[in-house]
Amino acid sequence: MKKTLTVFLMSIAVAAGAQHKLERLWATDTVVAIPESVLPDLNKDKILYVSLIDGSGWNADGKGGVAKLSMDGKKYDSLWITGLNAPKGMGIAGNRLYVADISEVIVIDIAKGKIEKKIAVDSAKGLNDITVNDKGIVFVSDSRTGKIWRLENDQAGLYLDSVKGVNGLKAVGDDLLIGAGKNFIKADKNKKITTIVELPQSIDGIEPVGNGDYIVTSWGGYIYYVTPNGKFETLLETYAEKKNTADIGFDPVNRIVYVPTFNGKQVVAYKLN
């Protein structure tokens, strides 16, 4: 009786904690050439940009690019931008799409669908995620050197150094949210760093979903829901299926999460409930 009661109480506790869930909406065929990041462009044309590594994760092999995918996952253009190396995180400012590509930030003219310029980042070895704040300032992480760079007027300057395991970034107001290994941290406008929570797995994508809450992914195949007070829920586990969960995109209006599955070679859309 005592054992039964304990199991029952544990079940109630788990159910009480599971306040959010992801409902799968659609998935592309397995034709997406190692998608690392998905970025929704919710302006006039409403499209998803998908960074394609299409090769080794850190090799300058010229196989990479950026694809365009319709918001319903049905129309896919894998050849929108080609000739990149191992492109990962992306950010939009005005008519420009910024893409992290090993040691350079690629600037794409969205209207023309062409590369406008390549900005070399001094000493960069593994540029990974990109975020753009509401002033158009670009931040890019270098996972291999533990640095975060700040780009303003196409000039790169060091913003933070010695950020162990740095990957995911997200600018929210004056704050910069950072995935540093398993640590989900925040740097304010004065670069003062506070820890929000330590997660079970290393952090990749970060997206705000409202009320100060976030969806945070781990590349291995985990998606978490995180609140400002450091509470978290596991929303999705695809590790056993060998489907990664890399740098997600989020549509805040329709509350849709777009997941690049990396080695799974798909983009999958989920409704956040």
pLDDT in tens, 91-105: 999 999 999 999 999
Measure the CA–CA gap between 116 and 71, rounded to whole angstroms: 25
pLDDT, residue 45, reads 85
Mean pLDDT of the chain: 93
211-to-16, 45, 214, 228, 235 alpha-carbon distances in Å: 19, 28, 9, 9, 18
The one-letter code for the residue type at 220 is G
Inform me whether the pLDDT recorded for 261 exceeds 90. yes
Residue 132 reports pLDDT greater than 50: yes
Residue 204 · residue 100 · CB < 8 Å? no
Q: Please give the average per-residue pLDDT across 18-46, as a whole number.
A: 94
Q: Tokens 């740095």 appear where?
A: 166
Residue type, 102: I
pLDDT tens, residue by residue, 172-226: 999 999 999 999 999 999 999 999 999 999 999 999 999 999 999 999 999 999 9
Say whether pLDDT at 13 is over 50. Answer: no
pTM summary value: 0.93
Specify whether the CB–CB gap between 121 and 140 falls below 8 A.
Answer: yes
Percent of the chain whose predicted confidence (pLDDT) is above 70: 93
Distances (CA, A) of 271 to 24, 29, 224, 250: 6, 19, 14, 10
Q: What angle do CA 218, 139, 92 make, to 5 degrees?
A: 90
- Considering the domain 21-40+87-272 in this protein, what is its CATH number? 2.120.10.30
Token output for 263: 């080695």
For residue 7, CA distances in Å to 12, 17, 232 come to: 9, 15, 22
The answer to whether residue 122 scores a pLDDT higher than 70 is: yes
- Residue 66 CB-density burial (10 A; 0-12 exposed, 13-18 middle, 19+ buried): buried
